[in-house]
Amino acid sequence: MMETILPGINNTIQRESRNPRSYNTNSDEDCDASEAEGKIKTRLMSMWNNMKYGWLVKMKTNFSKDSAVWLLGRCYHKRLEGDIDTGDAGGIEEFKLDFISRIWLTYRREFPHLNGSSFTSDCGWGCMLRSGQMLLAQALICHFLGRDWRWRAEVSASSQHRLFMEDSVHRRIIKWFGDSASRNSPLSLHALVSLGEESGKRPGDWYGPASVAHLLRQAVETASVENDHFEGIQVYVAQDCAIYIQDVMDLCEPKRGAHFVRDGNPSNEDASNAFSIGWKAVVILVPVRLGTEKLNSIYGPCLTAILTMDNCIGIIGGRPKHSLYFIGFQDDKLIHLDPHYCQEVVDVWEAGFPLHSFHCRSPRKMTLSRMDPSCCLGFYCRTREEFNRFVKNVKPFLVPPHQKGEYPMFVFCDGRSKDALSINKVTIPDDSLSSAVYHDSDDDLESEEFEILEFK
């Protein structure tokens, strides 16, 4: 019975959520009734969503004993025996701790209304925005805590002080993504949707990987104006699958010949004495399309090789119409964090707010061949030297095997993009012109092939 009723509920709610009536045009007399009706619809959709994506059942993900598991540049092996050359690989327990430590951002319900609309949940349409948030959260974890940081829910007495400081930073990062329109949450869903509105998007519209990459860049740029924590980090989005070296340098190099203010009066200083803030860390986002309707299989080895790099912060993409955040692999299966679990909103400004819903204990895997060809590759470089090493180390992974230098996923170019392009202003791509938009549809009801391992 439920299998018959719930799809109909889902379709009805999806239609109504995209109807112009979703915006608050009711009189004050109707507001309370409309809000109550909206909450009921949200809960029904949340219930159906969580059933559809398997969050109400427990399954087991099988990890091969004979193959390494890679997670954002770290190698793990289930069986550490003398006859297996695992190098610096850790065991499966270390993999579990690493996986759980990644910040998990999912659908939420009953958050403050989105920008003049009646939306109090992003269930059914916000999956790519959530995937982008997770990728950026990983970059911020690397920036403020380091790649080797691990979240430990239980703190031993001997390490309380150090872990207390780390917990403070950990919570601060999550607060930046809190589901509200607060200026103290500059990377929130509300903030991203607001930036999208400047380019013609509305709450409830769907996004592709390239659009989200530009939204993330704008969000960090906006945050840096009011929040000192963002002064030391920049976001660069590649244009037409090309990273322009000088553009990155311009973003990250110390500013010389700056204007100084002394006694209220601006003055120019000699360049050698000019103010220097030091090299800024950079998040590099590269939107790519690796095929037409389906992923071109020649790029499979390139994608998995990139996930073995220390600089990699993951890949946002998914399977058709279903966004995911890819963070690792074993053999031909990609390990991902899935944003399609609808949870209640958490007040991140409450003292000691609960953290468990921001960390996933259920890794999922998906066959690489099912990956949508449209995706966005993410990298993080803390220093100039690290950026130079990244440029050198990533190049062998960009060209598919046996292609003799042809058809790289992306390229590096000397100089600046404005010297090569006729337009200087980069706008958010129009997702309506592309098949690479990510949303939930009835197609998601097909056999998922997902596997779950619940960590205890």
**Residue 385 and residue 2: Cα distance in Å, rounded?**
57
DSSP 360: -
pLDDT tens-digit series, residues 17-31: 444 334 444 445 554
Residue-level pLDDT at 418: 86
Backbone angles phi, psi at 278, to 5 degrees: 85, 165
Residue-level pLDDT at 261: 39
Sequential pLDDT tens for the chain (456 residues): 334 434 444 444 444 444 433 444 444 555 455 555 556 677 677 766 767 666 566 666 678 888 999 999 999 987 654 444 444 567 888 999 999 999 999 999 999 999 888 899 999 999 999 999 999 999 999 999 999 999 987 665 456 567 889 999 999 999 999 999 999 999 999 999 999 999 899 999 999 999 999 999 999 999 999 999 999 999 999 999 999 999 999 999 977 544 433 344 444 443 334 333 589 999 999 999 999 889 999 999 999 999 999 999 999 999 888 999 999 999 999 999 999 999 999 999 999 999 999 999 989 999 999 999 999 999 999 999 999 999 999 999 999 988 766 789 999 999 999 887 644 344 455 554 444 556 554 444 333 444 444 444
Residue-level pLDDT at 54: 63
SS3 242: strand
H or E, element range at 262: strand 259-262
The number of beta carbons lying within 10 Å of the beta carbon of residue 67 is 15
Closest CA to 434 of 105, 222, 201, 209: 209
**Whether the Cβ atoms of residue 331 and residue 67 lie closer than 8 Å to each other:** yes
- The CA–CA distances, whole Å, from 56 to 5, 306, 444 equal 17, 33, 16
**Residue 71 and residue 91: Cα distance in Å, rounded?**
12
Pairing between strand 343-344 and 108-109? parallel
Residue-level pLDDT at 63: 82
**Whether the Cβ atoms of residue 325 and residue 336 lie closer than 8 Å to each other:** yes
Q: Taking each helix axis from N to C terminus, what angle separates 127-144 and 189-197, rounded to the nearest 10 degrees?
A: 120
Residue-level pLDDT at 419: 82
pTM comes to 0.82
H or E, element range at 212: helix 209-226
The number of beta carbons lying within 10 Å of the beta carbon of residue 258 is 14
Residue-level pLDDT at 80: 54
CA 49, distance to chain mean position in Å, is 21
**Whether the Cβ atoms of residue 282 and residue 247 lie closer than 8 Å to each other:** no
| Token pair belonging to 151 | 């979240």
H or E, element range at 248: helix 245-252
Alpha-carbon torsion, ordered 22, 25, 30, 36, to 10 deg: 20
**Residue 173 and residue 176: Cα distance in Å, rounded?**
5
**Residue 96 and residue 73: Cα distance in Å, rounded?**
15
H or E, element range at 334: strand 333-337
Amino acid at 400: P
Dihedral over Cα of 371, 372, 374, 380: its sign: negative
Backbone angles phi, psi at 445, to 5 degrees: -80, -5
Closest CA to 372 of 173, 57, 83, 128: 128
Query: Looking at the annotation, which residues are catalytic?
Result: 127, 338, 340
Whose tokens are 């890794």? That residue is 363
| Token pair belonging to 383 | 């220093």
**Whether the Cβ atoms of residue 214 and residue 264 lie closer than 8 Å to each other:** no
| Token pair belonging to 174 | 């999550």
Backbone angles phi, psi at 347, to 5 degrees: -80, 95
**Residue 321 and residue 6: Cα distance in Å, rounded?**
20
Give Cβ neighbours of residue 182 (< 8 Å, ≥ 6 apart).
188, 349
Residue-level pLDDT at 18: 44
Return the ∠ at Cα 206 (arms to 200 and 207), rounded to 5°: 80
SS3 41: helix
Residue-level pLDDT at 151: 94
Residue-level pLDDT at 431: 57
